[in-house]
């Protein structure tokens, strides 16, 4: 029996290695192909072409990275509490956003991608409900909607009930007909959209809630989605103080005939169109989708099959249009489509609905079960202190299991502590909710939070990308700490080693030939005085300048000798001739200029002058030495056949 077990273990190892073989090992630690591919593609982006040169170059960098990380683990940095806490904090923050993106956002985006392929024609019976309706008003609206739905299920005519009972007066006269819609609908209409796409043709939905009220939907038809087109139009209005309706018809026909003769559409729009918002832009309307314009306009626009083609004159309620198609939006690039969808649905009401669906799915996967009787016993023990700061949890039944998820028990004691910490909520519930209502709300919130927390803890098991991201961050922390210990701190603190390194390499740190000049800074309330000092300095040497103005109370002069590189912008206009001056720079009753006094021959820098460069080079030197030591300490073995399989 033992041999059989060992055989299966070996077989599973071989299978996993076949799918994800070891690319190389550092000491006793294996680095798998999937890990290298993930980091190679992430850091090289579009340059990740898997050429031999590219792979070899990145593999060399990654081997060095892994050597340092291996050393960090060897000295126990991965067990340091402060680093573990830092990683845990990052993971918590990342998990929340990742859960939203992966589990919720991607679901919603994929749902919209599928739905956008279809337009749905719908009618509705509407029961209005204000956003800030009272509880009584909400119950009354829901009851009315449910009563209508019940009658429909008994065989009542949808069209008749839409005419007589719908509170949407604009559609009730059309038997409740609304027209075609497509996903994504605006904020506040996600439940409406779900009813739209989940109801078969000819069938009626249960009442669905939108931010306007309740809707009972009847799906009339479905068609391939029209998508979005970019348009321009020329409009001649029906109503005009200068024309009759017939004259408007004649005018639009005349414009159409001129276009047929080859006149510029944009010029004709700017000259004749009576849409003041678009006429100066050649009639440009931008991209439109379905249900934005009247049916005759929409049907005519989407009937144009090619770009830069215009329609015959089309009549709507406001006038006559000649519509030009500029472009049709191409949704074949799924990545771009998903980005556009994401920007449209972010912070949409669909997120709350999707989160609830996610929680229900996690409950199902984790075999969620609960014991509400324990919760009722908890409620029975409450008194008025519950709505105050001084409340303490009843001690009865605290060890009893309240609910279970994936085999883990959550006790009444866990929930009591959550309630104890929810002081603001308990105070807010005072005189507003009963014990039953307050506890039920807190309990539901507690369950949801624990379920989401459970899901966050399992992200590594569900998503290889998240696991790779956490490994990347964990190893990044270790790399920073070990490099700080072995290189950066040594380079800045090892005075003796730094001095020796500088002495052995000081010829690298040299000054080129430099310009020696005197910087004069002058202050005077009179700009003309500033100019006079500058002119005097053109003719006289340094001592005479100082002597002339030292007793003058209206002038203040300071000076200092300075060294500049030849390319320094402060002296770029100064001739390199003894006594030559730079330009005078006057700014708010002060002036600065430079006077050339000679050149300084090339020389070696002192350690203090070159310290920044020396420390950087010393760090490189220490790192190279350290990597040589690590290579001997932890031999690297490369699986050449796996490496070869990477090359394209």
| Predicted confidence band of residue 17 (pLDDT cuts 50, 70, 90) | very low
Report whether 548 contacts 558 (CB < 8 A).
Answer: no
At 290-329, the pLDDT tens digits run 989 999 999 999 999 999 999 999 999 999 999 999 999 9
What's residue 18's pLDDT?
Answer: 52
Higher-confidence residue of 353 and 87: namely: 87
Q: Which two tokens stand for residue 293?
A: 């314009």
CA-only gyration radius of the chain, Å: 39
At 469-486, the pLDDT tens digits run 999 999 999 999 999 999
What's residue 239's pLDDT?
Answer: 82
Residue 14 has pLDDT above 60, yes or no: no
Helices 527-539 and 542-549 pack at an angle, to 10 degrees, of 150
What's residue 442's pLDDT?
Answer: 95
Report whether 231 contacts 324 (CB < 8 A).
Answer: yes
What's residue 4's pLDDT?
Answer: 34
- Please check whether the two domains, 117-224 and 513-601, share a CATH topology: yes
C-alpha dist (Å) from residue 365 to 369, 404, 483: 11, 12, 44
Q: Please compute the mean of the pLDDT values over residues 20-47 and round it to a whole number.
A: 92
What's residue 195's pLDDT?
Answer: 95
- Backbone torsions φ then ψ of 74, nearest 5 degrees: -65, -35
List all residues 6 or more positions away from 205 whose beta carbon is below 8 Å from its beta carbon: 195, 198, 199, 215, 216, 217, 218, 219
Question: Among 393, 445, 447, 391, which Cα is nearest to 423's?
Answer: 391
Sign of CA dihedral 292, 297, 300, 305: negative
C-alpha dist (Å) from residue 400 to 287, 342, 405, 407, 444: 60, 44, 15, 15, 18
List all residues 6 or more positions away from 529 whose beta carbon is below 8 Å from its beta carbon: 554, 555
Q: Please compute the mean of the pLDDT values over residues 452-469 and round it to a whole number.
A: 88
Residue 15 has pLDDT above 50, yes or no: no
Q: How many CA atoms lie within 13 A of 504 on its CB side?
A: 9
| Predicted confidence band of residue 10 (pLDDT cuts 50, 70, 90) | very low
Indicate the class that CATH gives domain 117-224. alpha beta
Among 272-276, 451-455, 461-465, 605-609, the range of highest mean pLDDT: 272-276
Residue 71 has pLDDT above 70, yes or no: yes
Q: Please compute the mean of the pLDDT values over residues 62-76 and round it to a whole number.
A: 95
Q: Please compute the mean of the pLDDT values over residues 47-65 and round it to a whole number.
A: 93
- What are the extents of the domains in the chain? 117-224, 229-328, 366-460, 513-601
At 387-417, the pLDDT tens digits run 998 898 888 777 889 999 999 999 999 999 9
| Predicted confidence band of residue 1 (pLDDT cuts 50, 70, 90) | very low
Question: Quick one: what percent of the chain has pLDDT higher than 90?
Answer: 67
What's residue 9's pLDDT?
Answer: 33
Q: Please compute the mean of the pLDDT values over residues 266-291 and round it to a whole number.
A: 94
| Structural element, H or E, at residue 439 | helix 435-457
Find the length of the chain. Answer: 648
At 244-264, the pLDDT tens digits run 999 999 999 999 999 999 999
d(CA 316, CA 293): 9
Q: In CATH, what number does 229-328 get?
A: 3.10.50.40
d(CA 119, CA 183): 8
- Backbone torsions φ then ψ of 387, nearest 5 degrees: -95, 25
| Predicted confidence band of residue 5 (pLDDT cuts 50, 70, 90) | very low
What's residue 617's pLDDT?
Answer: 93
What's residue 160's pLDDT?
Answer: 96
Sign of CA dihedral 145, 149, 152, 156: negative
d(CA 73, CA 474): 11
d(CA 607, CA 496): 12
At 485-508, the pLDDT tens digits run 999 998 888 889 999 999 999 889
| Predicted confidence band of residue 178 (pLDDT cuts 50, 70, 90) | very high
Indicate the class that CATH gives domain 513-601. alpha beta
What's residue 351's pLDDT?
Answer: 84
Question: Quick one: what percent of the chain has pLDDT higher than 70?
Answer: 97
């Amino acid at each position: 029996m033992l041999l059989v077990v060992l055989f299966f273990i070996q077989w599973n190892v071989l299978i996993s290695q076949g799918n994800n073989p070891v690319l190389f090992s550092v000491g006793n630690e294996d680095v798998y192909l999937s890990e290298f591919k993930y980091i190679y593609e992430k850091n090289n982006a579009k340059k990740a072409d898997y050429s031999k040169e590219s792979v070899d170059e990145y593999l060399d960098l990654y081997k060095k990275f892994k050597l340092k990380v291996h050393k960090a683990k060897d000295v126990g940095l991965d067990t340091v509490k402060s680093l573990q806490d830092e990683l845990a904090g990052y993971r918590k923050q990342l998990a929340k956003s990742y859960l939203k993106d992966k589990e919720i956002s991607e679901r919603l985006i994929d749902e919209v991608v599928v739905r956008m392929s279809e337009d749905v024609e719908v009618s509705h019976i509407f029961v209005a409900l204000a956003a800030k309706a009272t509880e009584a008003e909400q119950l009354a609206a829901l009851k009315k909607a449910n009563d209508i739905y019940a009658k429909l299920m008994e065989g009542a005519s949808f069209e008749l009930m839409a005419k007589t009972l719908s509170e949407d007066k604009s559609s009730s006269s059309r038997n409740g007909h609304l027209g075609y819609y497509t996903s994504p609908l605006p904020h506040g209409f996600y439940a409406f959209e779900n009813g739209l796409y989940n109801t078969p043709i000819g069938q009626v939905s249960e009442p669905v809630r939108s931010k306007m009220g309740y809707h009972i939907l009847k799906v009339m038809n479905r068609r391939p989605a029209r998508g979005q087109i970019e348009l321009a139009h020329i409009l001649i209005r029906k109503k005009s103080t200068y024309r009759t309706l017939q004259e408007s018809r004649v005018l639009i026909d005349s414009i159409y005939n001129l276009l047929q003769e080859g006149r510029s559409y944009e010029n004709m729009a700017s000259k004749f169109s009576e849409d003041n918002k678009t006429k100066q832009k050649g009639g440009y309307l931008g991209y439109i989708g379905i249900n934005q314009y009247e049916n005759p306009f929409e049907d005519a626009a989407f009937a144009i099959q090619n770009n830069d083609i215009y329609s015959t004159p089309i009549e709507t309620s406001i006038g006559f249009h000649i519509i030009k198609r500029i472009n049709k939006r191409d949704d074949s690039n799924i990545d771009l489509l998903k980005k556009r969808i994401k920007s449209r649905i972010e912070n949409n009401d669909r997120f709350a609905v999707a989160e609830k669906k996610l929680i229900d799915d996690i409950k199902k996967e984790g075999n969620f079960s609960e014991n509400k009787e324990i919760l009722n016993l908890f409620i029975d023990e409450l008194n008025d202190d519950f709505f105050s700061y001084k409340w303490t949890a009843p001690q009865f039944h605290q060890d009893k299991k309240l609910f279970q998820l994936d085999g883990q028990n959550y006790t009444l004691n866990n929930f009591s502590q959550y309630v104890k910490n929810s002081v603001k909520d308990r105070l807010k519930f005072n005189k507003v909710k009963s014990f039953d209502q307050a506890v039920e709300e807190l309990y539901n919130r507690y369950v949801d939070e624990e379920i989401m927390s459970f899901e966050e803890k399992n992200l590594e098991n569900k998503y290889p990308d998240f696991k790779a991201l956490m490994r990347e961050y964990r190893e990044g922390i270790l790399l920073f700490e070990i490099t700080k210990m072995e290189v950066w701190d040594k380079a800045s603190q090892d005075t003796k080693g730094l001095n020796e390194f500088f002495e052995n390499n000081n010829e690298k740190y040299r000054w080129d030939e430099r310009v020696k000049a005197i910087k004069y800074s002058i202050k005077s309330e009179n700009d003309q005085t500033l100019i006079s000092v500058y002119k005097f300095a053109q003719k006289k040497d340094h001592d005479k300048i100082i002597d002339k103005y030292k007793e003058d109370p209206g002038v203040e002069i300071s000076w200092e000798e300075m060294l500049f590189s030849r390319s320094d912008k402060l002296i770029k206009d100064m001739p390199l001739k003894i006594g030559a001056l730079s330009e005078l720079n006057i700014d708010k009753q002060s002036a600065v200029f430079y006077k050339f006094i000679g050149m300084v021959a090339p020389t070696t820098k002192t350690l203090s002058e070159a310290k920044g460069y020396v420390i950087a080079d010393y760090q490189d030197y220490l790192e190279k030495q350290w990597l040589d030591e690590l290579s001997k300490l932890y031999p690297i073995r490369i699986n050449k056949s796996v490496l070869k399989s990477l090359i394209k």
